Amino acid sequence: MFENYNVILDKYPFTLDLNQMESDLFSITQSIEKYKDDVGILKKIFNCIDLTSLNTEDSSESIRDFVEKVNRFEDIFPGMPQVAALCVYPVFAAALKAGLKNASIKRAVVSAGFPSAQTFTDVKVMETKRAVQMGAHEVDVVISVGEFMEGNYEFVGEEIVAVKQVMGEAHLKVILETGALHDPKEIWMASLLAMEAGADFIKTSTGKQQPAATLEAAYVMCRAIKVFNEKNNRKVGFKPAGGISTTMGALAYYGVVESILGEEWLSNEWFRIGASRLANALLTDINYAETGIEKEVKYF
């Protein structure tokens, strides 16, 4: 059973100073300038990308092509690390399993009525269970945002628990859809609810709603992860997603994680960026840093 949410709030009181948050974020965005030409850091961020294809027009053939591009990547870009994961709709989980050649790349899917989460709990559980059976290593699900905003916290928590219970060894990323939440306290509450319910990662956004990822949401979520880890000795990962398409944008989130959670979170075990356009931007900037040649890379 999911713990009474009032107990969770007592356990993790919201004490963030919002003026301090603004000051900290200003300092972080200034400090990341030193990384913009650091090839090692840019490659590390590339290695933290969940490369996504979540389009209405996706098909078995288009996903096979998507996978094959990733398979060819190491030959075309020698010396570059691979992305952390490919993320697709659950119906394509088997295509990832059949096609991906690099075992280090995780097979990720969205599930549980993504992106709105407006379906029956048993459907969410069934869809997730089937995706894992078809080979998904990781599953990204959205909280029932409307129920959360109405204060039905136990319902939201029990849904996450139910989904997690059918996942076996697969990892659960819980999307808060922070752009729909009204203030930092709600983001804090949703973060702690998700982690208490079993999330392995907490994620900002689906990318299907605006605003998507923001540095303010990232700051609150990382602070929540830090407090949760201190109280429970359980690390939870962080994934910003939605609208992160430039190197400097990605570096800003890298800076938030570095500042709050520290170096040990800065690998793809604990830090991911959900993106479809960021990979090309990073490849372009890495190529320029290494060769001095300005040439836009359009591989993905």
Q: Is residue 298 part of a domain?
A: no
Q: Tell me what pLDDT residue 9 has.
A: 77
Minimal CA–CA distance to 88: which of 145, 135, 143? Answer: 135
| Encoded tokens for 271 | 């830090």
pLDDT for 282 beyond 60: yes
Q: Is residue 40 part of a domain?
A: yes
Q: What digits encode the pLDDT tens for the residues 76-102?
A: 999 999 999 999 999 999 999 999 999
Q: Does the annotation count 140 as an active-site position?
A: yes
| Encoded tokens for 31 | 């400090």
Q: Is residue 297 part of a domain?
A: no
Q: Tell me what pLDDT residue 8 has.
A: 81
Q: What digits encode the pLDDT tens for the residues 133-172?
A: 999 999 999 999 999 999 999 999 999 999 999 999 999 9
For the chain, the domain total comes to: 1
Q: Is residue 55 part of a domain?
A: yes
Q: What digits encode the pLDDT tens for the residues 181-240?
A: 989 999 999 999 999 999 999 999 999 999 999 999 999 999 999 999 999 999 999 999
Spatial separation of the C-alpha atoms in residues 113 and 116, rounded to whole Å? 6
The two most distant CA atoms of the chain are separated, in Å, by 58
Residue 262 gets the label, from left (phi > 0), alpha (psi -120 to 50) or beta, of left
**Which CATH number goes with the domain that contains 167?**
3.20.20.70
| Encoded tokens for 257 | 């994680």
Domain that holds residue 48: 5-291
Q: Cβ neighbours of residue 35 under 8 Å, at least 6 residues apart?
A: 41, 42, 251, 254, 255
Q: Is residue 299 part of a domain?
A: no
Residue 198 gets the label, from left (phi > 0), alpha (psi -120 to 50) or beta, of left
| Encoded tokens for 128 | 């997730």
Q: Dihedral of CA 263/268/269/270: which sign?
A: positive
Asked whether 202 and 176 are in contact (CB, 8 A), the reply is: yes
pLDDT for 1 beyond 60: no
Q: Which of 50, 124, 129, 140 is catalytic?
A: 140
Q: Is residue 34 part of a domain?
A: yes
Asked whether 272 and 250 are in contact (CB, 8 A), the reply is: no
**pTM, full prediction:** 0.96
One-letter amino acid of 249: G
Q: What are phi and psi of 226, to 5 degrees?
A: -60, -45
Q: Which of 50, 129, 239, 285 is catalytic?
A: 239
Q: Is residue 216 part of a domain?
A: yes
Spatial separation of the C-alpha atoms in residues 207 and 199, rounded to whole Å? 19
Exposure string of 274-292, with b = 16+ CB inside 10 Å and e = fewer, is bbbebbbbbbbbbbbeeee
pLDDT for 3 beyond 70: no
Spatial separation of the C-alpha atoms in residues 155 and 153, rounded to whole Å? 5
Q: Is residue 296 part of a domain?
A: no
